[in-house]
Copies of this chain bind each other. A is one copy, B any other.
């Protein structure tokens, strides 16, 4: 009675996600499969890593999270399995799981090499179907991760994952724009509190400046930029009754902007 989540950049136009579910259900009919999202921007490993990190802990222990944002499919990048905090993660070794790995000293990482747990024939273009779905299906049946390959300790890291300190400025980044146009950063509420102490904050994004944070999207004047802590306690730039991405001229194709927080006298 396991749970498997799926996170990909496959979109919803093609049957690729449905086919992965067919492979999983062929191995374990009793599993529940949940889509996290399939609309990661193609190849956006940072965005996918961010979505996975904000989502996984709302699932019960032993959930298996399959993530396939895999621009290197068919090359020699490793297929891997990660066990952390009693959750399982399955996908390519390209940084996708780095935020989970680097925050857990007890993490277990396995290079998936045992082809007995793959489909009989492996294509060069669709490892979600041929490797990651069948590994997840077997895992949900209770197969030991260490039977599926060898431990390793040198995973690929993700750049720009945490903010950096430069004098009285904390330099973070926008990591994704949500459906409502809210711009979500990698600056966590607790890190920001430690940085600020008893001082006030001034937030800078592009040419815009925001003073302090509010509590809800409905606070502050309509149509103006505001900052708040979103549902994962990360700093978020939004607009009351509007879209922050439009006001900041973020169009989805360019790289996401730096978000700087200055600490100033109270």
Is B180's CB under 8 angstroms from A15's CB? no
How far apart are the CA atoms of A169 and B42 in the complex, in Å? 35
Q: Which residue of B lies closest to A50 (CB)?
A: B15
Contact pick for A12, options B14, B21, B37, CB 8 Å:
B37
Chain A interface, DSSP helix/strand/loop, else mixed:
loop
| Contact pattern, A 5-40, Cβ under 8 Å of B = 1, otherwise 0 | 101001111111111011101100110111111110
Bound-state Cα–Cα, A126 to B178, Å: 13
Within 8 A of B (CB), among A188-237: 215-218, 228, 230-231
Please tell me if the beta carbons of B75 and A124 are within 8 angstroms of each other in the complex.
no
Residues of chain B within 8 A (CB-CB) of A5 are 18, 22
Task: Note all chain B residues with C-beta closer than 8 A to A19.
Answer: 36, 54-55, 58
- Give 7 pairs: A residue, B residue, CB < 8 Å, sorted on A: A14-B51, A14-B178, A15-B37, A21-B34, A75-B218, A124-B228, A126-B230
